[in-house]
Amino acid sequence: MANIFPRWSNLLPLKIAVCAGTAAAGVALAFTYYATPKALVTGYQPAQPIPFSHKIHVDQVGLDCRYCHSFVDVSGHSNVPTGSTCWNCHQHVQRESPKLAPLHRSMDTTYAGYDGKPIEWVRVHKAPDYVYFNHSAHVNRGISCQSCHGNVNKMEVIFQANSLSMGWCLDCHRAPEKNLRPLEEVYNFNYNAETYISNNPQLGVTTTEALGLKLKEEFMVKPKETCTTCHR
């Protein structure tokens, strides 16, 4: 089928801004762009109230993403866990660590500074309000967190690994086979397509490209590229 969404369309927002924008709109656009660059910048890594390490909890302790981000495969939105998820373990483990003071303040009724308020994590990934995004639509169709968020299992402090720009979304929507995984491998951060192929000769594929195309056919994946997919 013809590619109805050609590559130059990556520049479309810019063209729209340049062609259609009045001077005032242009100023407003420039202002919002320069006033809010942090949340869109690759590498954005704000300090968090507790120095929470994904490396420790995922690689060392061995927790699955869904233990804490429990809605990611059932809802459009991926939640950040509440203090009670942490407290399940930390009322026993490393209880006296000074790093956990904000957790005691939120959860520990015996703590002098207890106020019961939620921990105020600083949000890292944020699409603009006019963009519709949906987590479960991706992870339940063979797209791993790793493809979008990078090697979270190695991050001491979480940071934005990809631009989250429209061009970035569309690159994958045009060729999802490069990122498709068997569903049981979506949360496995040590996944390696070549190893998977050699362990599963019954699939009858020998290259990672062939595996991607096979999964695309099997899942009947066909990501949309029309404007209303992401702008509703």
- Per CB under 6 A, which of residues 6..25 are in contact with ligand HEC? 9, 12-13, 16
Q: Of residues 125-154, which lie at the interface with ligand HEC (CB under 6 A)?
A: 125-128, 131-135, 137-139, 141, 143, 145, 147-149, 152-153
The closest alpha carbon to 121, from 91, 162, 78, belongs to 78
- Minimum CB separation of residue 209 from ligand HEC in Å reads 15
Q: Of residues 70-129, which lie at the interface with ligand HEC (CB under 6 A)?
A: 72, 78, 80-81, 85-86, 88-90, 93-94, 97, 99-100, 103, 121, 123-128
Instruction: Annotate 25-48 with b (16+ C-beta within 10 A) or e (fewer).
Output: eeeeeeeeeeeeeeebeeebeeee
Nearer to ligand HEC, 173 or 214 (CB): 173
Q: Of residues 190-219, which lie at the interface with ligand HEC (CB under 6 A)?
A: none
**69 and 81 Cβ atoms separated by less than 8 Å:** yes
Q: If 0-12 CB within 10 Å is exposed, 13-18 middle and 19+ buried, where does residue 121 land?
A: middle
Residue 183 in the binding site for ligand HEC (CB under 6 A):
no
